[in-house]
Amino acid sequence: MKILGIETSCDETAAAIVEDGTKVLSNVIASSIDLYKETGGVVPEVAAREHIRQISPVIDKALSDAKVSWQDIDAIAVTHAPGLIASLLIGVNTAQTLAYIYKKPLIPVHHVAAHIYANWLDRENENLEFRVLSLEFPILVLTISGGHNELVLMKGHHDFQVIGETLDDAAGEAFDKVARLLNLGFPGGPVISKRAEKGDPSAFDFPRVMLYEKNKSHFTKTSPDKYNFSFSGLKSAVLREVQLESADNNPRPTEKTINNICASFQSAVIDVLADKLVMAADQYNVKSVHLAGGVSANQLLRKTVRERLPSNIELLWPEKMIYCTDNAAMVASAAFFCPKKDIDAKSVKVNSQMKL
C-alpha cells in the first residue's frame, strides 16, 4: 500500500511516499528555517506563507522522485494536530482537495504519533525491518522535539498512554532558547551539541529538575510528577550564568565559557531525560525503548541512554537523521499502521492543541 504523507505543522513543508509503512520511496522537505536566524524562533505568519509557496512543488516532487502517478497512491495522510494553526490548515486543505479530486481516503495523523512512527522507517538496510514490525508491545517512547516532550507507553499500534509530559518547556525548546541567550542562532540543538563537544560538562552545576524525591539509597516512586519534565528553571539558571559572565563590561561570555555553558546545559537536559526513561522502562517492564523527535538526533543522549539502560532492552532511534526532525515519511508510516483508514476527507478537522 502506497501512502502520500503531507506535513506542514511548523516550518517544514514536506511530502513523502511510503510503501507499507516502512519503505520510503521519496521524502521531500522544504524548510523555511533560514528565515528565522534573526528571530531565534519560527514566525507563524511567515511559515504559513512559505507553506503556500512550497506545498504544490513539494508534492509534485514527492510523486516524481518515487516514480509514481496518482493512480498508484492508495491513500493520503496529513498532519492535522497539533501545531501552528495557519500552517496546519494549509496542509489539511491541500490534502482534502487532493483527496476529493483523486478520490482517495484521507487519514488524519497526530504529529507526535508521526514522530513515533519515524522509528518504523527504512529499516531494511540493517535487516531491521522484520524486527521493527515484530517488536513486542509495550514499547516505551521518549518523544522530544521543539514543541513536544512526552514519555509514551505504546501498548499496540496507535494505542498510546502518555505517562509523562513537560510542565513548561520541551527539551528542544530549551535548546533553542539557550542558543538564543548565547546568540548562537536557530535551531539551538545542533549548534549547542557541537559547541558542547569542546566544553566541560562539569564547569557549571546546572539544576536537574527531577520532580520526585531521589534519596541516597532509594527512589520515592510515588510522586505524581515523577515522569513529568520541567526545563524552565534550567533555562533561567543558564540566563543568570550568562548575565554574570557578561558583567564587567564584557559584551558576552568568552568562547571557552560558551562551550562550557553548552556542555553543562546539555548534560543537565540529558541527565533528566535518561533518568526518567530508565526508571519508566523498569517500572513498565518494556523490552524495547524508542527515541523520537528532533532532540533524538543528539548523539550524547543516544550514548547516555544506551549506557544506562539494561543491555537486554532494545534501544532504537530513527534510522536516518532526517527522520528525527519534521518530515512527511513518518506521517505516511503512522497512517499505514492506523486501524481506521476509510475516513471521509470532509470530516478531517485541524486542532492546534490536541493531545496524543
| Stretch in the footprint of ligand KG4 (CB under 6 A) among 128-136, 169-177, 329-337, 340-348 | 169-177
Judged by beta carbon, residue 99 or residue 325, the one nearer ligand KG4 is 325
Judged by beta carbon, residue 104 or residue 110, the one nearer ligand KG4 is 110
Shortest spacing between CB 79 and Zn ion, in angstroms: 9
Shortest spacing between CB 326 and ligand KG4, in angstroms: 4
Binding to ligand KG4 (CB under 6 A) within 322-341 occurs at 325-326
Binding to ligand KG4 (CB under 6 A) within 98-127 occurs at none
Shortest spacing between CB 241 and Zn ion, in angstroms: 29
One-letter amino acid identity for 332? A
Binding to ligand KG4 (CB under 6 A) within 259-298 occurs at 293-295, 297-298
Cα dist. 335→7, 111, 129, 340, 347 in Å?
Answer: 12, 11, 17, 9, 16
- Positive or negative, the CA dihedral 291, 122, 285, 354 is positive
Counting contacts by CB under 6 A, is residue 199 touching ligand KG4? no
Other Cβ atoms within 10 Å of 292 Cβ, number: 28
Distance of alpha carbon 239 from alpha carbon 255, whole angstroms: 16
Cα 110 to the chain's mean position, in Å?
Answer: 12
Shortest spacing between CB 295 and ligand KG4, in angstroms: 4
Distance of alpha carbon 61 from alpha carbon 59, whole angstroms: 5
Binding to ligand KG4 (CB under 6 A) within 56-85 occurs at none
Other Cβ atoms within 10 Å of 203 Cβ, number: 17
Counting contacts by CB under 5 A, is residue 326 touching Zn ion? yes
Judged by beta carbon, residue 80 or residue 104, the one nearer ligand KG4 is 80
| Binding residues for Zn ion, total number by CB under 5 A | 2
Q: Are the C-beta atoms of residues 17 and 332 closer than 8 Å to each other?
A: yes
Q: Are the C-beta atoms of residues 172 and 147 closer than 8 Å to each other?
A: yes
Torsion of CA 173, 178, 180, 183, to 10 degrees: -150
Counting contacts by CB under 6 A, is residue 169 touching ligand KG4? no
Residues at the site binding Zn ion, with contacts judged by CB under 5 A: 145, 326
Residues at the site binding ligand KG4, with contacts judged by CB under 6 A: 10, 145-147, 172-173, 175-176, 187-190, 193, 293-295, 297-298, 325-326
